[in-house]
């Protein structure tokens, strides 16, 4: 089982990305996927995933989803003290045999990272609406993540975000690490995203090359 951590600021598209990846992994790759969401003061993301993937599209079963309310600083529950999430992983593992677990952090800043005890592979999500100063500002989350996803590229013209600048900054600050530019709304860049994720799953032995 591979544990994939998804983190990034509030509104960057983490939940939408997790829903897309879940549908891809289940429907196209035939894998069994579990999801853990982290919210600070509500179960908003878990309810959304439940309504979309369990009730509406029936991509996963209810037993494959756990929503956590951390009640404090978002990165504490995924880094300094990941015990709550580790217990959730154990619970999911007892319920059903899973190939992949997607763990969504609560919205946080560019310094947020996952504990290696909790995630084997990490995806940091930014969006163009936050400005093209990212990823050049750096931060541990951006620098150390295995994959950087720049989301909402369809909005770039409306917020004066220079995608080429973001690309060059990503190459500079994340040498030899992949960055994918996508729009979960229009579908642009999603084939490249799937290619990167599939390569990782092949390396993990979950898929054949």
Average pLDDT over residues 3-21: 94
pLDDT at residue 209 is higher than 80: no
What is the Cα–Cα distance from 40 to 28, expressed in whole angstroms? 32
106-120, 147-161, 190-204: the lowest-pLDDT one: 106-120
What is the Cα–Cα distance from 105 to 103, expressed in whole angstroms? 6
pLDDT at 154: 96
Distance of CA 44 to the CA centre of its chain: 16
Tell me the residue range of the domain where 15 lies: 2-203
Evaluate whether 189 touches 182 at the Cβ level (below 8 Å).
Answer: yes
pLDDT at residue 176 is higher than 80: yes
163 pLDDT band, cuts 50/70/90, is very high
Average pLDDT over residues 75-94: 90
Q: Which two tokens stand for residue 44?
A: 């908003």
What is the Cα–Cα distance from 97 to 119, expressed in whole angstroms? 18
Structural domain contains residue 30: yes
- Cα–Cα separations (whole angstroms), residue 133 to 103, 112, 129, 147, 162: 27, 18, 11, 18, 9
Structural domain contains residue 159: yes
Structural domain contains residue 112: yes
Structural domain contains residue 22: yes
Structural domain contains residue 209: no
- Tokens 């690490």 map to which residue? 177
pLDDT at 203: 86
pLDDT at 80: 87
pLDDT at residue 76 is higher than 90: no
Average pLDDT over residues 142-146: 94
The CATH number for 104's domain is: 3.40.50.300
What value does the mean pLDDT of the chain take? 92
Structural domain contains residue 181: yes
pTM attached to this predicted model: 0.95
Average pLDDT over residues 37-42: 82
pLDDT at 188: 97
Average pLDDT over residues 119-141: 91
Average pLDDT over residues 159-176: 95
Q: How many domains does the chain have?
A: 1
Structural domain contains residue 208: no
173 pLDDT band, cuts 50/70/90, is very high
Long-range contacts of 60-64 (CB under 8 A, 24+ apart): 60/22, 60/26, 60/33, 60/34, 60/35, 61/96, 63/92, 63/95, 63/96, 64/32, 64/33, 64/34, 64/35, 64/92, 64/95, 64/96, 64/98
């Amino acid at each position: 089982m591979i544990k994939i951590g998804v983190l990034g600021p509030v509104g960057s598209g983490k939940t939408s990305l997790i829903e897309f990846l879940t549908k891809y992994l289940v429907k196209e790759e035939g894998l069994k996927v579990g999801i853990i969401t982290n919210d600070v003061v509500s179960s908003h993301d878990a309810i959304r995933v439940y309504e979309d993937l369990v009730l509406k599209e029936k991509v996963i079963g209810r037993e494959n989803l756990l929503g956590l309310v951390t009640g404090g600083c978002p990165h504490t529950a995924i880094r300094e003290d990941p015990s709550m999430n580790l217990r959730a992983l154990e619970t999911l593992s007892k319920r059903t045999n899973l190939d992949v677990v997607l763990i969504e952090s609560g919205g946080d800043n560019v310094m947020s990272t996952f504990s290696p005890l909790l995630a084997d592979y990490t995806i940091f999500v930014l969006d163009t609406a936050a400005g093209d100063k990212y990823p050049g500002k750096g931060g541990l989350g951006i620098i150390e993540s295995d994959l950087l996803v720049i989301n909402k590229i369809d909005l770039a013209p409306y917020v004066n975000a220079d995608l080429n600048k973001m690309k060059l900054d990503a190459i500079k600050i994340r040498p030899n690490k992949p960055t994918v530019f996508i729009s979960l709304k229009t579908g642009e860049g999603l084939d490249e995203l799937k290619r990167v994720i599939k390569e990782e799953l092949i390396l993990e032995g979950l898929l054949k090359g």
